[in-house]
Amino acid sequence: MKTNLALCALLLIVATGCQEDFILEASLPESEAALVVNSVFRPDTLFSVYVNTNVSPIGTEKPKALTDARVEVLHSGEVIDVLPFKTTLPYDFFYISPINDTPRSDDNLSSFPRTIAQYESLQFKPLPGEEYEVRVSAEGYETVTGSDVIPDLVPIVDVVYTEQTVVDEFLGDRAEIKIVFNDPPGEANYYNLRHHYRQIDTSTGFIMSLTEGFELLTDLQDDLFGADPDDLIGNLEPARIEIDGVTFSDAFFDGEQQEIVIEVADDLCSYNATTPLEWECQQIIQLSAVTETFYEYHRTLQLQSQASQNPFAEAVRIKSNTSNKMGIVSGHNASVWIHVRPR
């Protein structure tokens, strides 16, 4: 018995030592080229779809914007609009913006590692409660479809903005923002909370905006997010929320009035001493009612990001509702609060 055990141990050591060579010599199949389709559609906003291509996991080619696709929007099975190509944007531009800002046309896209093609309707704006399907086709690619509905608006009922609650030598001036909303009773609801900065030159109309992270001051163990940390979907650090915001459900507060308290930088708009008086600085809070589709997509996206930092974590597959399981087609309804910072 001892001899057999020793022989097994030796074979295990040899097999382990050869494993690296075996992996290096194995040939990995290249994945077929495919369309990646993303769309976040909102009421009172022109319907937009973003299209790019995937790449082989072992190749050197970068994902690229696809500018010659056919992009259709369907309602009740009928095509109601064909979206024309509008512009090419940095890939990272795709986020839920409450104000639909677009980079200037003279932005140097060559400095971005990836780009994405934006297709936008000339006149069609979707309606809450209605389901819309996106269908994208292009020569040499399998047609991709995905559909979702726009949920009803959950308005922000009150916001309390307290300036300079913390003055930090490294972080600068801080502000505390309390957001209050009433959750609709008797139904599953899902939310995404984001924070934006915006500067407007009132003399020329030029706009500069960015989505910014924030500190979540609400106790993560209270009834808002529940005792299970998986119910809070944000950054790996419990209280730090990055630019994609925090996504959560009402599983622990159905039908109740809720308050979320965050902390943000209060002086980002004053970083330039030469800023003219014509510049208006805004802090923007966006509470979006989102669907379960986006909730699951964002949850698994964050879990995958966290797992990538842990070599022992199991692989996480992002939940997608497109036909080829790449990207997301999702309806949103955003309640927006804007604070104009005194000059």
- The whole-angstrom separation of Cα 64 and Cα 198 is 29
The b/e string for 249-283 (b: 16+ C-beta within 10 A; e otherwise) is bbebbeeeebebbbbbbbbbbeeeeeeeeebebbb
pLDDT at 222: 42
What's the pTM value of the predicted model, to 2 decimals?
0.78
pLDDT tens-digit series, residues 1-33:
444 444 444 333 333 343 333 333 333 344 578
What is the per-residue pLDDT across 78-96, written as a single tens digit (0 to 9) for each? 999 999 999 988 766 555 4
Structure tokens at 143: 């047609």
Sole residue written with tokens 């924030």: 214
**3-state SS of the chain: helix, strand, coil percent to 5?**
15, 40, 45
**What pLDDT shows up at residue 148?**
97
- Nearest residue to 132 via CA among 140, 123, 143, 124: 124
Q: Tens-of-pLDDT digits for all 343 residues of the chain?
A: 444 444 444 333 333 343 333 333 333 344 578 999 999 999 989 999 999 998 655 555 667 889 999 999 999 999 999 999 999 887 665 554 544 444 433 344 444 457 889 999 999 999 999 999 999 999 999 999 999 999 999 999 999 998 876 666 666 678 899 999 999 999 999 999 988 888 777 777 777 777 777 888 875 444 444 434 444 444 434 356 767 788 888 888 889 999 999 988 876 665 444 555 567 788 889 999 999 999 988 888 777 776 666 677 677 778 899 999 988 999 999 999 998 876 6
Distance CA 261, CA 219 (A): 9
Q: What is the per-residue pLDDT for 270?
A: 53
* Contact between 94 and 48 (Cβ < 8 Å): no
